[in-house]
Amino acid sequence: DFLDAVDGKQIVVIDEAYFEFVEAADFPNGMTLLDQYPNLVVFRTFSKMYGLAGLRIGYLAGDLNIVDMIRRTCVVYSVNGIAQEAACAALGDDTNHIRRTRDLIRESKDFLRAELSSMRLPLIIGEGNFLIARLPGSDTLAYRRLMHEGIMIRPMTGFRYPNHIRITLAKMDAMEAFIGALKKILH
């Protein structure tokens, strides 16, 4: 509906940085819309699912005319050969890695949902590898206290979610340590 309303008058950008984490069958896939909407571009990255954030590698897909215009008008950083090889290797192990990572994320998400709900903390849960919880007090203070406990979270006040924290989902021992530290600082 939105893409039809734009009617090709503007370039529309879809950021699919977390797309590989999506399990919902009805979740839209921007890549499937590229042929229908030549004004659409889709960004994806190897930083999230593939863990290659330090290599700063991703890609843009879209109509060749728009991609060429972006190439001519934006600062484009070259990607070194090691990053390119790492990205190709990540794609080569695509199915197994994604399945295992999704399983880990699902397990951690279910655990945190249960634990944080039992603490009566409202949650925002999406398809990515994180969830957001609203705290009864300052997210910045919680950040400092959790750091003191050796736990790093993202305070969300700067993203217009005061008193909210973003928790990246990880292996179960890290999630259990987070819950223990959170209970300690909230009581």
| Structure tokens belonging to residue 148 | 């003191």
Average pLDDT score, the chain: 94
Whether 86 and 106 map to the same domain: the answer is: no
pLDDT digits (tens, 9 = 90+) for 9-47: 899 999 999 999 999 999 999 999 999 999 999 999 999
Domain count of the chain?
Answer: 2
pLDDT digits (tens, 9 = 90+) for 128-163: 999 999 999 999 999 999 999 999 999 999 999 999
Whether 58 and 107 map to the same domain: the answer is: no
Whether 127 and 65 map to the same domain: the answer is: no
- Find all residues with CB under 8 Å of 26, minimum gap 6, and list them: none
pLDDT digits (tens, 9 = 90+) for 160-186: 999 999 999 999 999 999 999 999 999
pLDDT of residue 90: 87
pLDDT of residue 75: 76
Whether 10 and 79 map to the same domain: the answer is: yes
> What is residue 47's DSSP assignment?
S
pTM for the structure as a whole: 0.84
Q: What distances in angstroms separate CA 80 from CA 43, 70, 77, 83, one per listed residue?
A: 19, 20, 9, 6
Alpha-carbon gap, residue 2 to 12, rounded angstroms: 10
Last residue of a domain, one of 77, 92, 107: 92
Return the CATH number at 177: 3.90.1150.10
Domain of residue 144: give its range: 99-186
Q: What distances in angstroms separate CA 5 from CA 2, 37, 45, 120, 182, one per listed residue?
A: 5, 12, 28, 41, 45
